[in-house]
Amino acid sequence: MKLPRDISGNELAALLQKFGYKITRQSGSHLRLTRIAEEEHHITIPIHKNLKVGTLNNILKDVAKRLGKTKEELMKDIWGS
């Protein structure tokens, strides 16, 4: 599955909320999301109109690792197919 090329930072933050991430603060043009499970996990997402592919890839890899999934499994959970 290919990474989407037209997803914004706000859209990604909204999609990650179904995995327990909540927006905890905004500093300038970046959002900080936190997931409280066994341990806290923080990710920072730039609020850009279109996230760069490398940035999106790194965020998804980080979240997938924390959830105990592969990046591909996480992408299927988020976008289906």
Q: What's 19's DSSP letter?
A: G
Residue closest to 33 by CA, chosen among 2, 60, 1: 60
Q: What percent of the chain has pLDDT over 90?
A: 81
41: Cβ–Cβ under 8 A, 6 or more apart, which residues? Answer: 34, 35, 66
52: Cβ–Cβ under 8 A, 6 or more apart, which residues? Answer: none
Judge: domain 9-79, CATH 3.30.920.30: yes
Per-residue model confidence (pLDDT) at position 1 = 79
What crossing angle do the helices spanning 53-67 and 9-16 adopt, rounded to 10°? 10
Distance between CA atoms of 26 and 67, rounded to whole angstroms?
Answer: 23
Per-residue model confidence (pLDDT) at position 81 = 64
pTM over 0.85: yes
Per-residue model confidence (pLDDT) at position 11 = 95
Q: Is the pLDDT of residue 16 over 70?
A: yes
Per-residue model confidence (pLDDT) at position 30 = 95
